[in-house]
Amino acid sequence: MEALSLYELNARVRALIEGGTETSYWVHGELMEGREGYGGHFYGELVEKSEATGSVVARARITIWARTYNILALRFREETGQSLRPGLKVLMQVRVTFSELYGYSLNVLDIDGTYTLGDMARRRQEILRQLERDGIIDDNKTLPLPTLMKRIAVVSSATAAGYGDFCRQLQENDWGLAFDVRLFPAVMQGQHVPESISAALMAIADEAERWDVVVIIRGGGATSDLSDYDSYDLAACIAQHPRPVITGIGHDRDETVPDHVAHTSVKTPTAAAAFIVEHQLELLSHLQDLQQRIPLAATALMQRGEQRLALLRQRLPSTAMLMIQRERQRIDRFFMLLPMATKGLLEREKHRIDLLAQRLDGMNPELLLRRGYSITLMDGKIVTDVSVIRPETVLTTLMQGGEVTSKVLKVDDRRSGE
């Protein structure tokens, strides 16, 4: 049995794989790793992930030699606005190689930037469709901008050139407008962008009553980092923020997902500052217009008042005479009607007195006695209830022609049975 050295075995594998041909293949996958090494060569790893689980099901080392890499990297950046970096979906033309020392790898001959661009656009559209299905894509856009936009919460890196430009633009405005700006630091490039910016936004939301507007600015970063902002969680945090959000992430070529959901999107940090200054200038212009109009309106009002007073002065003599004539006529009518009214009132009172006299006559005790009635007195008071009488009580009975004094022998109270 012939025994082979490892090198001899690998050499045979190399011969089988390469086959003495120059065959190449177009292969798509995701860059898992990527770096520029010594001599300007690019080394990385291409993987394929399961759509169901997201786990890696295939992988291969890739190499782009320096001369080819310089050409492909420049063209790829021009086509996509991205540099070759982990996380990108790519379509590469490769030749399979095998090294006795390093094993199986792929030598990259060409890259189709339109494939990566299409995948980025597809991913972005999927996020936007999900936001629309969740009914939150326009939530921040519907918030009204405050009339006074002075208290500004800024999400940015403290060292970002864009943050400095933004602050200078506000502070050095030509109209002397004052702003209260506070930085909420966040990572603005790299894979931690979504969670870092979301954390800053949530900190602002916890004290939302202190702020008029939120500004997210980047500026100075690489265009290739823009895909880090295409995150559903970050977009949802912006869309549902209680304060209007302005984005000025610093790009002219394309829009990120946050730009689609923010209240207002501008290209650069300085453009964001200019937007705020212009908003304040509109308020200032309105106040200045009111300042000019108020004295004019007050003058016009005073003129109308003086004209009305003058007119009243002209009308006053004739008006007073008319009022005096009407009052005299009313008094004359009153004196004409007074005797008739007095006579009628006296007749009504006389009739009422006659009725009262008749009623009093009907209540005269003498008249009652003549009709056969009697009145019983006890201690000089009229007795109206038998219950007040006791045996041996002395009673006086008044009747027609005189009175009778008697002593009670027995009381018969039919109500109590006594």
Q: Report how far residue 96's alpha carbon sits from residue 112's, in angstroms, rounded to the nearest whole number.
A: 18
Overall average pLDDT of the 215-228 stretch: 74
Summarize the confidence of residues 288-309 as an average pLDDT: 73
Summarize the confidence of residues 286-296 as an average pLDDT.
66
Would you place residue 303 in the very low, low, confident or very high pLDDT band (cuts 50, 70, 90)? confident
Strands of 213-217's sheet in order across: 180-185, 151-156, 213-217, 245-248, 264-265
Cα distances (Å, whole numbers) of residue 331 to 83, 125, 325, 337, 338: 106, 92, 10, 10, 10
Confidence of residue 220 (pLDDT cuts 50, 70, 90): low
3-state helix/strand/coil string of 194-257? HHHHHHHHHHHHHCHHHCCEEEEECCCCCHHHHHHHCCHHHHHHHHCCCCCEEEECCCCCCCCH
Query: Given this model, what pLDDT does residue 290 score?
Result: 60
How far does Cα 54 stand from its chain's mean position? 39
C-alpha distances (whole Å) from 83 to each of 124, 223, 232, 417 are 18, 8, 22, 124
* Predicted pLDDT at 21: 57
- Of 146-150, 171-175, 394-398, least confident by mean pLDDT is 394-398
Contact 157, 269 (CB under 8 A): no
Evaluate the CA torsion angle 337, 343, 344, 348 in order and state its sign.
positive
User: DSSP secondary structure string, 168-198?
Assistant: HHHHT-TT----EEEEEE---SSTTHHHHHH
Residue 61: φ, ψ to 5° = -75, 145
CA distance 314 to 308: 10
Look at residue 184 in the predicted model and tell me its pLDDT.
97
Residue 350: which pLDDT band, with cuts at 50, 70 and 90? confident
Can you tell me the mean pLDDT for 376-401?
82
CA–CA separation, 130 and 239 (whole Å): 13
The torsion angles phi and psi of 243, rounded to 5 degrees, stand at: -120, 150
Q: What CA–CA distance (Å, rounded) separates 86 from 33?
A: 5
Question: Does residue 229 contact residue 194 with C-beta atoms inside 8 Å?
Answer: yes
Say what the alpha-carbon torsion angle 15, 16, 22, 24 is, to the nearest 10 degrees: -140
What pLDDT score does 261 carry?
96
pLDDT at 286: 62
CB-CB contact of 218 with 188 (8 Å): yes
Residue 155: which residues within 8 A CB-CB, separation 6 or more? 184, 186, 197, 200, 201, 204, 214, 215, 216, 217
Task: Say which CATH superfamily domain 6-111 falls into.
Answer: Nucleic acid-binding proteins (2.40.50.140)
Mean pLDDT of the chain: 85
Collapse the DSSP code of 163 into the 3-class scheme (helix H, G, I; strand E, B; otherwise coil) and give the result. Answer: helix
pLDDT tens readout for residues 224-267: 567 889 999 999 999 999 999 999 987 665 678 999 999 999 99
- In the chain, the percentage of residues whose pLDDT exceeds 90 is 39
Judged by DSSP in three states, 134 sits in coil
CATH class of 149-282: alpha beta
Judged against a pLDDT cut of 90, whether residue 339 lies above it is answered with no
Listed range (26-35, 88-97, 207-216, 303-312) with the worst mean pLDDT: 303-312
Neighbours of 29 (CB within 10 A): 21
Question: What is the pLDDT, as a whole number, of residue 60?
Answer: 93
Q: Which regions of the chain carry the CATH code 3.40.50.9100? A: 149-282
Q: Is 88 helix (H, G, I), strand (E, B) or coil?
A: coil
Residue span(s) of the chain under CATH 2.40.50.140 come to 6-111
pLDDT value of residue 252: 60
Q: What is the pLDDT of residue 251?
A: 66
Question: What pLDDT does residue 20 have?
Answer: 55
Q: b/e string for 289-312 if b means 16 or more Cβ within 10 A?
A: eeeeeeeeeeeeeeeeeeeeeeee
pLDDT band at 388 (very low <50, low <70, confident <90, very high): confident
